[in-house]
Amino acid sequence: MKAKHTDLEYLEKLYGTSGNQLIVLYGRKGCQKEELLREFCADKKFFYYRCRQASPEQQLEMMGDEIARAYGTNLTKRTYEEYFKRIKSGDPSKLVVIIDEAQYVAKKDPDFAEAIIKLRKHKLYPGPVLIILATSSTVWATQDAAELFKDSYRVEPLNFLEVVRNFPSLPVSEAVKVYGAIGGVPEYLDRWDAKKTFKQNICELVLSESGALHYEADAVISAELRELSVYSTILSAIARGENKLNDIFHATGFSRAKISVYMKNLAGFNIVEKLVSFETGGWENAKKGVYQIKDTFVNFWFKFVYPNMSDLYLLSAEEFYDKYIEKELDVYLERYFRNVCMEYLLILNQMGKLPFAVKRVGTWLGKTGSIDIIAQSEDRRNIIGFCNWNAPEMTMDMCEQMATAMEQAHLSSDDYYLFSATSFEPALQAYVIRDPRFKLINMNEL
């Protein structure tokens, strides 16, 4: 899979900036940062070193050996400062220096960080240089590295449009299913076979013990977080709807203080997130302190597989899918269809095809009802989006429920975008013809 255009564009812009630059480039496991770096360096002079799990002495020795081979030089000193004096582009062009999985050296040898800082300040290498410290450790990138090196860039999972582009043969409805099950992680998408059905892919990749993603949820959580049993207990509670701190406390038996610490860790690792209602005048009617699992595949696993693990080993993959996933899948996918519709509005906004320029987008979570999408201009004009994935058709009654939620949120609008993955009730279609404030968007348009 090719690297995202936005990621390449960012690195190219950084490369084109005069002087020396230093960036910490990070992304979750499976983000394929290596492919991004390969594509970026294809037409540039660069030095690449991949750090290993090794002692400081061995790491120093291995990097020195690779520099000696790359530049055909004999190293009289075995220090990082000496190494960075010997690298070169061979012409006036900017040299790209990439230290991949840099946490393995930076955490154990302070001399490395000091040499990198001197390299950025032109104290070791005279020519222009772009230094990229790449890592798959979100914790290191956002904590230790943030203190040492300041600037960072996160390689995000693919958005829905990019997922669709990777599967041009799939109907949009099937792409929504893929997006809602495994998210936009490039490594996962590379394993998905577009020639097979959604069920076949889930059975082979996720439910089968030999599947490439069968142990992935645990691997994601335990990559940097310890006490897997505690985190799994919390995530299981959230996945079954215990999504407030007090609910999680009663569901798990853990103290509130302990839960707060673990939730902070999960949020820092982009596994969970705290939902914040779009700010409106109806704050007294909004839900507060609601959590959800942010990582798509982890959410899918804890929703469908983790609570039914015994049957996973008793039933065939196909029987397990039919019993536990098939009936609940559409309800689960409603959240991801809303994300798709929100992304669609943002694309229209970028193209200048909305009634006005939008500055903020979000969801309002009410105590008795919610508003799927609120897109607001700088002068607080609103576009309201309402999404239907699961019902056989979007109806007038559904729209009236949205109107009730708008009253509770103290919101008004002259522009409504109604999204339906199925169809629209004839009465609603007839009403929209008479009221230009409403626009109907079906799956094909998405």
Residue 115 domain-assigned (yes or no): yes
Residues 255 and 337 in one domain: no
Domain of 77: which CATH number?
3.40.50.300
Report how far residue 104's alpha carbon sits from residue 54's, in angstroms, rounded to the nearest whole number.
7
Report the alpha-carbon angle 365-370-371, nearest 5.
Answer: 105
Contacts of 18 (CB under 8 A, 6+ apart): 128
Neighbours of 91 (CB within 10 A): 8
pLDDT for 217-274, tens place per residue? 999 999 888 899 999 999 999 999 999 999 999 999 999 999 999 999 999 889 999 9
Residue 159 domain-assigned (yes or no): no
Residues 9 and 135 in one domain: yes
Report how far residue 194's alpha carbon sits from residue 164's, in angstroms, rounded to the nearest whole number.
11
Residues 29 and 69 in one domain: yes
On the question of pLDDT at 281 being above 70, the answer is yes
pLDDT for 291-341, tens place per residue? 999 999 999 999 999 999 999 999 999 999 999 999 999 999 999 999 999
Residue 39 domain-assigned (yes or no): yes
Q: Which of 293, 327, 361 is the last residue of a domain?
A: 327
Among 363, 362, 365, 427, which residue's Cα sits nearest to residue 400? 427
Domain span at residue 310 reads: 196-327
Residue 174 domain-assigned (yes or no): no
Residue 109 domain-assigned (yes or no): yes
> Domain tally for the chain?
3
Residues 357 and 322 in one domain: no
Residue 356 domain-assigned (yes or no): yes
End-to-end CA distance of the chain: 23
Please spell the DSSP secondary structure of 316-369, one letter per residue: -HHHHIIIIITTTHHHHHHHHHHHHHHHHHHHHHHTT-SSS---EEEEEEBSS-
Q: What is the pTM of this model?
A: 0.91
**Rg over CA atoms, the chain:** 25
CB 268 within 8 A of CB 139: yes
For residue 3, what pLDDT is reported?
Answer: 67
pLDDT for 64-87, tens place per residue? 999 999 999 889 899 999 999 999
Please spell the DSSP secondary structure of 207-233, one letter per residue: ISTTSTTTTHHHHHHHTT---HHHHHH
Sheet holding 152-154, edge to edge: 46-50, 95-100, 129-135, 21-26, 152-154
Residues 251 and 345 in one domain: no
CB 381 within 8 A of CB 356: yes
Residue 179 domain-assigned (yes or no): no
Domain of 208: which CATH number?
1.10.10.10
Residue type, 9: E
CB 394 within 8 A of CB 388: yes
Mean pLDDT of 345-351: 96
Report how far residue 37's alpha carbon sits from residue 377's, in angstroms, rounded to the nearest whole number.
37
